[in-house]
Amino acid sequence: MPPPAPAPPAFLQLAGHPLRWRLLGELARSDRMVSELTGLVGEPQNLVSYHLAKLKAARLVQARRSSADRRDTYYGLDLGRVGRELAAAGGALHPGLALGPAGQAPDRAPDQAGPPARVLFLCTGNSARSQMAEALVRARSGGAVQAFSAGSHPKPLHPHAVRVMAEAHGLDLAGQVSKSLDVFAGQDFDWVISLCDRVREVCPQFPGGPEVIHWSLANPATGEADAVTYPLFQATAAALETRIGYLLAAIADRPSAPRRAP
């Protein structure tokens, strides 16, 4: 008698449910609140919340209270963990199906032959998160993506943002300047990404139908002592690096379209 067939990996059993797979797909694109997810998937809130709880218990999805309204919660996909689980699932079926270095963001820059994609990162002060994201995209895309950043209430560049980019990525932010959203009013972008819950609520519409995404990242500038806040900046930089790796892969897969000159 042949040995019993092994059960599919737990990740496949969990993610293979049609609604959970749909939720994972929506959260792969942008962080969302439950009320937004119910509209996107066309299912009642109690059912969406039930399946989100399953995904959160498996640590595929993370939850964070909104910094704009503490009654709201943003859900986001743990891209690194999902990548590791997918790699392990492929390897469990056949060694040749393992999906490369488990958990690493894909190293795929957009094609430089076409017109460069334009990405705008937004946060409240344009002093840390959005500035770090702008620098990372410019460096990792090798010029194939034009990255910009702005804030709804600009503040001077935070010294910890300069320090962490220099120490962790060898990037010099010292010459970057905080800018207001008004600077980019009326310009066309391919992607507009908010990194702060507050700026998401005041983000204007941009022409050209850009892909609008939200990454709910806590502000590392808490006003506490440097010994407390600098590790927060390090964690934020690491989270941005992971998300940007996947963003560049998505941009590489997106066909270019004509765009007005800025």
Active site residue 28: no
Please report the sign of the dihedral spanned by the C-alpha atoms of residue 104, residue 110, residue 116, residue 117.
negative
Cα 247 from chain centre: 7
Say if residues 207 and 186 touch (Cβ distance below 8 Å).
Answer: yes
Q: What are phi and psi of 169, to 5 degrees?
A: -130, 0
| R_g of the chain computed on alpha carbons | 20
- Residues counted in the chain: 262
Among the listed residues 24, 60, 86, 203, the single catalytic one is 203
Cα 25 from chain centre: 13
**CA distances, 134 to each of 55, 145, 183 (Å):** 31, 10, 16
User: Which is nearest to 9 in space by CA: 98, 93, 100, 96?
Assistant: 93
Tens digit of each residue's pLDDT (9 = 90 or more) over 157-184: 999 999 999 999 999 998 889 999 999 9
Tens digit of each residue's pLDDT (9 = 90 or more) over 20-39: 999 999 999 999 999 999 99
pLDDT of residue 2: 63
Active site residue 123: yes
pLDDT of residue 250: 87
Alpha-carbon span 83 to 157, nearest angstrom = 33
Among the listed residues 82, 196, 237, 244, the single catalytic one is 196
Pairing mode, strands 191-194 and 117-123: parallel
Alpha-carbon span 251 to 192, nearest angstrom = 12
Among the listed residues 61, 123, 221, 232, the single catalytic one is 123
Alpha-carbon span 15 to 2, nearest angstrom = 29
Active site residue 221: no
pLDDT of residue 91: 80
For the chain, which ranges sit under pLDDT 70? 1-5, 96-113, 255-262
Alpha-carbon span 229 to 213, nearest angstrom = 26
What are the strands, taking DSSP E only, across the chain? 61-65, 73-77, 117-123, 145-151, 191-194, 211-214
Indicate yes or no: pTM above 0.75.
yes
